[in-house]
Every structure is written in C-alpha cells, then in structure tokens.
Amino acid sequence: MLLSLKHNFLFVHIAKTGGTSVRAALSRYRYRGPWGVPLFLADKLDQISGHRIGAKFPRHAKAIAAREMLPAELYDNLFKFVFVRNPWDLQVSSFFHIRRERPHVLEGVESFEQFVKLKFDPEREWNYMLDTSKELQRDYVTDMSGRCIVDFIGHYESLQADFDTACDRIGIPRIALPHRRKAEGRDDYRRYYTDETARIVEAHYRPDIEMFGYRFDAPAP
C-alpha cells in the first residue's frame, strides 16, 4: 500500500499484479508535502523495529485496513486504486517468482501441477510466499459487507493504459512503468494447466472471477 497525502491517492498493492512497477513509478510522490517527513520517519522506525510498532501500512494491506485506520473524511477524499489479474495467469506468475526468489519453498516440487496442488492443499502449513498470492483479490477492494471501497480497478492485462488513467485521475504526469520482477522464459499461462488444476484455481477464485469478469480462455476481461 502506498499513500500520498500531498497528491491525495492511495495505491492498494495486490501481489503479482504489476504493483512493484506501480510503486516504483509513484515512489517519488510518497513523502512530498507537509506530512512527508513524519511519514518518512514512521516508515524508517517501523523498519528498524522489525515492523513491531505498526507505524505504516504493510506492503500488501487491504483497502479496509486504510479505511479503518484513517479518518473517514480523509479516506473518502483519497483517490483509491488497485490492479487485479487473471487468477490462472497469476498462479503461473507466482510459481515462477517463488521458484526464482525462494526456491526452498518449492523443495520437491518439480512441476506447475504439483505447485497448484501444494498451494491449494488445505492441510499444509501456512507459508507467506504461497499464501499471499492465494488471497482473494476481491478482499483487497471490499468492506466486510462486500461493498467496493476503492475508486478505480485497473487490470494487469492493460497495465500501462490503466495506470495512465490513474495518473490522470491523480493529476500527475503519465509515467512509463518500469519492468520490475518480470518473469523470463515462461509461456502462455494456459499451457501450464491440466483440466484438474484449472478447476482447482477456478473453485478457489470464483468470487474474483465473478467480480472482475475473468475467464480461463481469455486473459483480459
């Protein structure tokens, strides 16, 4: 999550949706304005304490966390935006990311099929790398009643165009997104699935599929 009080926006960062590139593009606006120094100090103190003092929103905090913590008038006046991604494509991205960044998490896992079965195994122990990208994207943008509480939902499949729209809404110049953590050597996501693993992902992400209009055979809604 990235908050700018001077430019009046809140970016809600869902894992594996291009958010690292969005954060990199918007980081220059984070500490501007009269509240910039307190925000910067709170960020650094939280890092020094090992995130024990809760002085900032976690990287992948949900919109409802900001709504509960910020004054209602402030939250309502922020431009709140987020990016979502085809759930089947997201799992392929997660597989390559974990295999590259934290290979020990996938020890003994040789294929994407094994990865899906491990990730959605209800009996396994909790693991940050597996479970962060297992959360429903819908939960990042809704309140406890299921009502959408963000102003703009962009899509990974049209990331630059939708980010341009967000920049226009914020009132800042459009920025070419840098390519951060871009996967190399991967094929079209549909080639990694069997009928069984496609159904596993569909069953888990049905609320996302219904809310954002995704289908297995079409990467964009």
pTM for the model: 0.86
> What is the pLDDT of the chain when averaged over all its residues?
89
Q: Are 11 and 22 in contact (CB under 8 A)?
A: yes
Give 43's pLDDT tier (boundaries 50, 70, 90). Answer: confident
| Res 221 pLDDT > 60 | no
| pLDDT tens sequence across 19-37 | 999 999 998 887 667 766 7
The pLDDT of 179-185, averaged and rounded, is 65
Task: Report the C-alpha gap between 139 and 4 in whole angstroms.
Answer: 22
CA 145 to chain centroid, in Å, comes to 21
Give 38's pLDDT tier (boundaries 50, 70, 90). Answer: confident
Which residue in 152, 143, 132, 137 sits closest to 214, CA to CA? Answer: 137
Per-residue model confidence (pLDDT) at position 181? 59
Where are the chain's structural domains? Answer: 2-212
Structurally, at CATH architecture level, domain 2-212 sits in 3-Layer(aba) Sandwich (3.40)
